[in-house]
Amino acid sequence: MNKNKLSAMTNAELLKQQKILKTITAMLAGAILVLFAASLILAFKKQLIALNAIPVALLPVLILNLKSLKEFKEEIKSRGL
Q: What is the pLDDT of residues 29-45, one digit of tens each?
A: 999 999 999 888 888 88
Q: What is the value of pTM for the model shown?
A: 0.80
Structurally, the chain folds into a number of domains equal to: 1
Angle of CA points 3, 8, 13, to nearest 5° = 105
Give pLDDT, residue 2.
59
Q: At what angle do helices 11-44 and 54-79 cross, to 10 degrees?
A: 160
In sequence order, which residues have a C-beta less than 8 Å from that of residue 31 and are 6 or more positions away? 58
Report the alpha-carbon distance of residue 35 to residue 3 in Å, rounded: 33
Which residue, 52, 31, 28, 51, is CA-closest to 40?
Answer: 52
Residue 11 belongs to domain spanning: 3-79
